[in-house]
Structure 1
Amino acid sequence: MTQQSTAIQPQKNILIVEDDPNNREFLSLVISQETIYTPILAANADEALQVVQTITPDLFILDYFLPPGINGFELYQQLHQQAGLKNVPTIFLSASTEKEDIKQSNVLFLEKPFELDELLKTIEKVVKMSDTSSSPH
């Protein structure tokens, strides 16, 4: 018996943490239309930490500057300390590339403003890197 190509694939999610509502909606629209992922939106770190209590994202897209409270890098550190989230790949978004903490971590970075193709290529690159690192050796 052959396996049907209509087999249900597990839902893949991207948690987008972006405080600017226009950027958040743009990212959501692009991801839902151009990728296999379902966007999950959070406006700040507190919302993101609530989301991961019930959903394990396959990818994080984090704005570096998040009001109020902790910044995107501090959120990244908190998320990756939680069981089941340690290996979730991350893309940072920021208008400034002078972030030493980001440069020293194992994440990808997109400088705002970025082109749509650049975002999609970065997502694809992260997914491929993640698939390679999670495959058995």
Structure 2
Amino acid sequence: MSAQSPPARILITEDNPQGAELLEAFLAETPHETRVAANGDEALRAVAEWKPDLVLLDIMMPRLSGFEVCRKIRSNPATRDIGVIMVTALDQHADIDRAVDVGTDDFLTKPIHKAELLLRVRALLRARQQPSDLARTLEYVRAVEENL
């Protein structure tokens, strides 16, 4: 993210309160704003209303799995560009393949290591920011061309 970028909004979707608290604690030393959703339905509401830049998404949740939440995020034009990192105890290749198939950007297996989480969050936010930076530069170039 560029130096002028505002702090990102990160939605933590985790049905285990201790897991959510741990992720919040890891992210507390960053400038980012966090919110927690305890299940997939809450996550989809928060995505629609709060418009996070990144979702940390547990896969194994009651009612609506992380796979389904990610699929719904990706199928909506208003939310498809939100970054998604799946955070889960699942580590089978089939689960990772399914996560990629539904559109996750990255995958972290529990137990989560703080340094790895922070690195992946930073990298994904930076990658998501580049198209916005490019669009602003293109607008500037077009404005300059019009004034020539």
Q: Same fold (TM over 0.5)?
A: yes
Unaligned runs of 5+ residues in structure 1 are 1-6
CA deviations 1:88-115 (Å, max 9, x no partner) are 1110011122212113445100010021
Which aligned pairs between 1:27-46 and structure 2 lie closer than 5 A?
27-31=23-27, 33-46=28-41
What code does the residue aligned with 2:70 have? Answer: Y
- Of 79, 91, 99, the residue aligned with 1:85 is 79
- Of 49, 52, 67, the residue aligned with 1:54 is 49
Structure 1 residue 80: Cα displacement: 2.3
TM-score by length of 1: 0.83
Say whether 1:125 aligns with 2:119: no
Aligned residues of 1:19 and 1:44 also touching (Cα < 8 A): yes
Aligned identity (percent) is 30
CA deviations 1:9-42 (Å, max 9, x no partner) are 64521011001000101111221x2212111100
Larger RCO, structure (CA 8 Å, separation 6 or more)? 2
> What is the rounded CA distance, in whole Å, between the counterparts of 1:106 and 1:94 in structure 2?
12
What code does the residue aligned with 2:120 have? Answer: T
Aligned to 1:3: none
CA deviations 1:63-122 (Å, max 9, x no partner) are 01111x221011011122234211011100111222121134451000100211011011
Structure with higher helix content: 2
Q: How many residues align?
A: 129
Say whether 1:16 aligns with 2:4: no
Unaligned runs of 5+ residues in structure 2 are 136-148
